[in-house]
C-alpha cells in the first residue's frame, strides 16, 4: 500500500510488528511502566507534531502529555480492531478537540502569541536548536524551515475539520479509511474535506507566497509526468 508524503507517522520510520506493540501494551497493562515508556518514546514525536499543527506549539506539550496519560488509562480498551497508531491518533484528535473547546469556554487560559508548533521560534532559532542540520547545507535547511513556517501559518488558517484531514493525510501519511476512524466520519466526508482543504490551502499559500506558489509547485516532484496515474508511492 502506498504511503503519501508524511514521514512522521511512525517515529522510527519503519513498520513495526503488531505483535511487538501488543506485547508492550500487555506488559504496560500489568503495571510495567518501562513498557509504557517505550510506547511513549516511540510515538511522542508524531503525537506532538499533530498536536502542534492542530492547537499550536505552546499547547502541544500539554496536549501530548494529556494524550499519553489518557492512553495509559484507556489501554485496556484497545482491542486491536484498528492499528495502535490509528487508535492513538483518535485519542490525540479528541484531546485536541477538548482543548479547543476548553479554550473557547475559558479564553483566559489561552496561551499568548502565535503557536505554529514548537515552530514558533524563528527559522534561525530553530536552525540553531537543530544543531544546524548536522552536515546539511544550512542554507537549504533554512529554506525548508521557512517553507515549514509558511505551511504552518497556512494550516492554522484552515478550518479545524479541513486541517485535521489534510494534516493526517499529507503530513502523517494516514489512508482515508484510517482518517475515517481517527476523525469519526464517513469515507465520503474524508474525501470531500480533503478536496476542500487542498483548495483552501492552495488559495492561502498563493496569498502567503504572493505569486511564488506557481514556481514552487513547478519545482515539486509531483509535477513531472502530469497526466495519468495516481501519485507515486
Window 163-192: residues binding other proteins (CB under 8 A): 166-167, 169-172, 175-176, 191-192
For the CB of residue 104, give the shortest distance to other proteins in the complex, in Å.
26
DSSP 59-97: HHHHHHHHHHHHHHHHGGG--SSS-HHHHHHHHHHHHHH
Instruction: Provide the minimum distance between the beta carbon of 150 and other proteins in the complex, in angstroms, as a whole number.
Output: 8
- Residue 230 touches other proteins, criterion: CB under 8 A: yes
Is residue 218 at the binding interface for other proteins, with CB under 8 A as the rule?
yes
CA distances from 82 to 23, 174, 181 (A): 16, 12, 8
Which of 83, 103, 144, 185 binds other proteins (CB under 8 A)? It is 144
Cα 145 from Cα 140, distance rounded (Å): 9
Instruction: Determine the interface stretch with other proteins among 57-65, 82-90, 95-103, 106-114 (rule: CB under 8 A).
Output: 57-65
CB atoms within 10 A of CB 148: 15
Compare residues 13 and 17 and give the one whose CB is closer to other proteins: 13
Binding of residue 137 to other proteins (CB under 8 A): no
Cell numbers describing residue 205: 499559500
CA separation for the pair 83, 19 (Å, rounded): 11
Closest to other proteins by CB, 104 or 218: 218
Identify whether the C-beta of residue 178 lies closer than 8 Å to the C-beta of residue 86.
yes
Cell numbers found for residue 5:
508524503
Residue where the block lists cell 504552518 = 152
Residue 8 as a binder of other proteins (CB under 8 A): the answer is yes
Contact 187, 177 (CB under 8 A): yes
Minimal distance, residue 102 CB to other proteins, in Å: 19
Would you count residue 199 as binding other proteins (CB under 8 A)? yes
By CB under 8 A, the residues from 35 to 54 that bind other proteins are: 36-37, 40-41, 44-45, 48-49
Size of the site for other proteins (CB under 8 A): 72
x/- letters, 64..103, toward other proteins (CB under 8 A): xx--xx--x-------------------------------
Residue 200 CB coordination number (10 Å): 18
Amino acid at each position: 500500500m502506498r504511503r503519501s508524503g508524511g514521514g512522521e507517522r511512525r517515529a522510527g520510520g519503519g513498520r513495526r510488528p503488531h505483535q511487538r506493540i501488543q506485547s508492550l501494551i500487555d506488559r504496560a497493562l500489568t503495571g510495567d511502566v518501562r513498557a509504557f515508556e517505550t510506547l511513549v518514546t516511540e510515538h511522542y514525536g508524531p503525537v506532538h507534531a499533530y498536536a502542534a499543527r492542530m492547537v499550536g506549539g505552546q499547547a502541544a506539550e500539554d496536549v501530548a502529555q494529556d494524550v499519553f496519560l489518557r492512553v495509559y488509562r484507556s489501554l485496556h480498551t484497545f482491542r486491536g480492531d484498528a492499528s495502535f497508531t490509528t487508535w492513538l491518533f483518535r485519542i490525540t484528535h479528541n484531546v485536541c478537540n477538548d482543548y479547543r473547546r476548553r479554550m473557547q469556554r475559558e479564553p483566559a487560559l489561552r496561551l499568548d502569541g502565535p503557536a505554529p508548533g514548537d515552530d514558533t521560534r524563528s527559522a534561525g532559532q530553530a536552525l540553531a536548536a537543530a544543531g544546524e542540520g548536522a552536515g546539511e547545507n544550512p542554507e537549504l535547511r533554512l529554506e525548508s524551515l521557512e517553507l515549514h513556517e509558511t505551511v504552518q501559518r497556512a494550516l492554522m488558517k484552515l478550518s479545524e475539520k479541513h486541517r485535521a484531514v489534510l494534516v493526517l493525510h499529507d503530513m502523517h501519511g494516514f489512508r482515508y479509511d484510517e482518517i475515517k476512524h481517527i476523525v469519526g466520519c464517513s469515507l465520503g466526508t474524508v474525501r470531500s474535506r480533503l478536496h476542500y482543504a487542498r483548495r483552501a490551502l492552495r488559495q492561502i499559500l498563493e496569498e502567503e507566497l504572493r505569486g511564488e506558489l506557481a514556481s514552487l509547485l513547478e519545482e515539486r516532484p509531483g509535477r513531472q509526468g502530469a497526466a495519468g496515474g495516481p501519485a507515486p508511492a
